[in-house]
Every structure is written in structure tokens, then in C-alpha cells.
Amino acid sequence: MNEVFDLQAHEHIALCDLLKITGASESGGQAKAMISDGLVWRNGEVETRKTAKIKDGEVITLPEFDVTIRVTKSALA
């Protein structure tokens, strides 16, 4: 699954919130567990900080679940 998430007027989003909002995880608790277990990659490297600030242009990948989330910021923001 490939997903694009638009930050809109925000500068960043917490990684655990991004996973929950995009449906990559069923809940915030599951998102935090996935991050803690090293199942989430940020720009090609494992990310273990649950509230890492994800910004425009970053790519979040969950290789175990075949999910890629590209974070963008709309030109209107």
C-alpha cells in the first residue's frame, strides 16, 4: 500500500499519530508497539522514537506490512 499524507498547515506530525491517521496501524498503542519493535523505517533507517517529528519530504516504510507513506505539504498551506 502506498499512501500520501498532506501536512497541510502543520510543520510536522508525530510518527505514532501518522501511523494511526493513515491506517497503517489500528490504534495508537499498536503504532507505538510497531515503532518500539523496530518495524518502522524513516527515510531508509529504523526509527524507534514514537513521537519523532515527521516533516515534509520524508518517507515512512513498514517493510513487514508493505506500507509506504510519503509526507508532503500542500502548496496552499
**pLDDT tens track for 34-74:** 999 999 999 999 999 999 999 999 999 998 888 899 999 88
pTM: 0.89
So what's the pLDDT on residue 73? 86
What's the pLDDT score for residue 76?
59
- Per-residue confidence band for 77, with pLDDT thresholds at 50, 70 and 90: very low
Within 8 A by CB and 6+ apart from 35, the residues are 15, 16, 19, 47, 48, 49, 50
- CATH topology for 2-72? 3.10.290
Q: What cell was used for 58? A: 520524508
Res 65: pLDDT: 81
**Amino acid letter, 73:** K
Lay out the sheet containing 67-72: strands in order across: 2-6, 67-72, 59-62, 41-42, 45-46
